[in-house]
Amino acid sequence: MNDMPRGSIPSETVRRIQECIDIVDVVSPYLMLRKQGQNYVGLCPFHQEKTPSFVVSPSKQLFHCFGCGAGGDVFGFLMKADALSFPEALRVLGEKAGIAVVPASSPVQDPEESSSKESLLKIHQEAAVYYHDLLLNHPGARLTREYLQKRGVQEDAIKNFMLGYALPLWDGLLKYLQGRGWAPDEAEKAGLAILRQDGTGHYDRFRDRLIFPIRNLQGKVIAFGGRVLPNSQSDKGSDATLPKYMNSPETSLYTKGQHLYALDKARGAVSQAGSLVIVEGYLDALAAHQAGVQNVVATLGTALTQEHLHLIGRFTRKVILVFDPDLAGVRAALRTVELFMSGGVHAQVVMLPEGEDPDSFIKNHGSVAFKELLSKPIGLLDFALQQMVAKASKKTIEEKLRIIEEVLPVLAKIQNHVERSHYLKWVADELGVHERDLGQELVHHVRKSKKVPKQEPSFIPKTPQFPVEEQMLIQLLLQGKVKPNALQGRVQPGDFTDPRLGPLFSLILETAQGGGEVQIRELLLATQHDSEINLLISAWSLQELTCEEYEKTVQDCLQKLYSKRLNRELQEMEEKIRKAEQEADRETVRALQQGVLSLKRQILLTQQSY
Ligand SMILES: [Zn+2]
């Protein structure tokens, strides 16, 4: 959580925005939420998990993850999810609510990092506009426009995906950006320009390329992919060493293997379709969207990674991989098997007919045929094993052994025993070996490769220990099971022995309007600077209570607090007696001993009443 105080913006504005915004609306684009009782639950976007421990409460307008401890209000969520500062999160939500966010006095100073992120986003947006405008209007982009036309990319899609064109110039973008106030080293930082080796200046990274803006989940441009055009100068001329595809380098906005092309546009359709379709090329994804199949994304020139799966898992548990039937496509499919088997996302495969990619398939057979194809995927495991077993002629024993070597690691990964023996039998039949022999090889392999079982990384912070009755009382208050004014005169902030809970108790009483209702939002705002207490509030507000008879529990808690107070007083008094005895102050000793007796009687009474 960000430590910046929220003070610089009028709290009135903050409150008005809070009232207009529903945390469920803000959170739901980031993960699949399922209704559970009064709350929603889902897989936490902040740590990897397979069972949901992320809770969103519409009534309390807060979220908490009982796995990793993340929690807070709607601002806290956006700050964490999009790495925003508080003023940035406020601005985003203000825009959503139609409320202008004006700083109270001096302009808000963003932390350096987030302001540099913001400026990176701005320069990317400017560059995207520049490239896009060139593609639409520049005479030099005529061939590129014709190329897109030939590939059936319509103007709507060009605009929707904001495709662009980089002129074959060394400083086209640089000059444009400079004209808009950007220094060359800012363009370099964004990965848009490259410093000359002799250090004398910069040149454009993307030249004579079709440009695909890569966007984050919020639709903001964070990087570019550039494709060399067939027959262009670069394709055959001096730049022949350049790769066909080139992406932006990594920046603080963009990390390789963490983004999927068009996911910002696909995610709505993903939740409708219940699955995500992954293709390989930008134009493949574009063609699918254009044909009305919108739950489609493309990998950005890298193999699928664990991070991709984590990202995907926030939206769906079902993935359909579309592969070309050539050897490279098959190999790519096989590489993903182990990834998916340990990833918690179920993968299926669709193979295209010989010589087709999704783009050409849609063009040649139409979108209905493409949808039809997608409706009949086969399991990735079936597919992989079929490919492995089928690819050799299976005649010689050497070949069979080689295939078995390849198949065993995959079989060993199958967790479900029934499933495993099903595939074992199938492979044995296909290879013409005894099922029992293959089974023994499998056992052998599992033993050989047995390592420490892989566990989900544990981000669970050490839960601070609190005295049970103190925590329970605060929890009952936060969850509205006991009203603040019902505790009037029965317990003091000083009765809490934990140094964090006394002040929290005072704050709860202060913010409760007229002592009637606890104001969670106010509490979260007031404790924004103290992330530990802030997280405590969101956790304890949502954590299920272990008790049922609330009034009785309150009684018990109060009694324990009371008897702890008496015991403290007793200790203090005995300490004073020791001191007075040292000073031979008999009168004081006698008076104190009276007090001790009376305290002991009271303590006895409280114990009896349990
Ligand atoms: Zn979490």
Distance from Cα 220 to the centre of ligand 1, integer Å: 25
Distance from Cα 523 to the centre of ligand 1, integer Å: 22
Of residues 201, 221, 203, 205, the one with CA closest to residue 213: 221
pLDDT tens digits, 145-173: 999 999 899 999 999 999 999 999 999 99
- 9: tokens are 């913006």
Distance from Cα 48 to the centre of ligand 1, integer Å: 7
The CATH number of 113-247 is 3.90.980.10
Q: Which amino acid is at 513?
A: Q
Distance from Cα 313 to the centre of ligand 1, integer Å: 13
Mean pLDDT of the chain: 84
Q: How many Cα atoms are found within 13 Å in the side-chain-facing hemisphere of 481?
A: 21
Cα 248–chain centre separation: 22
Distance from Cα 56 to the centre of ligand 1, integer Å: 12
Of residues 285, 324, 280, 320, the one with CA closest to residue 303: 280
Average pLDDT on 235-246 reads 62
Please state which architecture CATH assigns to domain 468-606: Orthogonal Bundle (1.10)
In 10 A of CB 483, how many CB atoms? 15
Average pLDDT on 292-296 reads 94
Distance from Cα 79 to the centre of ligand 1, integer Å: 15
**pLDDT score, position 139:** 96
Distance from Cα 45 to the centre of ligand 1, integer Å: 6
Distance from Cα 122 to the centre of ligand 1, integer Å: 30
- 212: tokens are 């695909």
Average pLDDT on 265-276 reads 86
Distance from Cα 557 to the centre of ligand 1, integer Å: 31
Residues 6+ apart with CB under 8 A from 210: 135, 144, 147, 148, 163, 164, 165, 226, 227, 228, 229
Distance from Cα 477 to the centre of ligand 1, integer Å: 25
Q: Give residue 210's region: left, alpha or beta (phi > 0; psi -120 to 50).
A: beta
The CATH number of 11-110 is 3.90.580.10
- May I ask the CATH class of domain 263-385? alpha beta
**What are all long-range contacts of 178-181, with beta carbons under 8 Å and residues at least 24 apart?**
180/126
Distance from Cα 70 to the centre of ligand 1, integer Å: 6
Distance from Cα 63 to the centre of ligand 1, integer Å: 10
- 13: tokens are 């504005």
pLDDT tens digits, 246-265: 899 999 899 888 899 999 99
**pLDDT score, position 227:** 92
Distance from Cα 47 to the centre of ligand 1, integer Å: 5
Distance from Cα 65 to the centre of ligand 1, integer Å: 5
Residue 453 has pLDDT above 60, yes or no: no
Distance from Cα 64 to the centre of ligand 1, integer Å: 8
Residue 393 has pLDDT above 80, yes or no: no
Q: Band of the pLDDT at 392, cuts 50, 70, 90?
A: low
Q: Give CA–CA dist 70/83, Å, rounded.
A: 14
Distance from Cα 14 to the centre of ligand 1, integer Å: 26
Of 189-198, 485-494, 590-599, the range with the highest mean pLDDT is: 189-198
Distance from Cα 302 to the centre of ligand 1, integer Å: 27
What percentage of the chain carries pLDDT values higher than 70? 89
Distance from Cα 52 to the centre of ligand 1, integer Å: 9
Average pLDDT on 567-581 reads 89
Q: Which residues pair with 34 in a beta bridge?
A: 41
Pairing of strands 318-323, 346-351: parallel
Q: Band of the pLDDT at 317, cuts 50, 70, 90?
A: confident
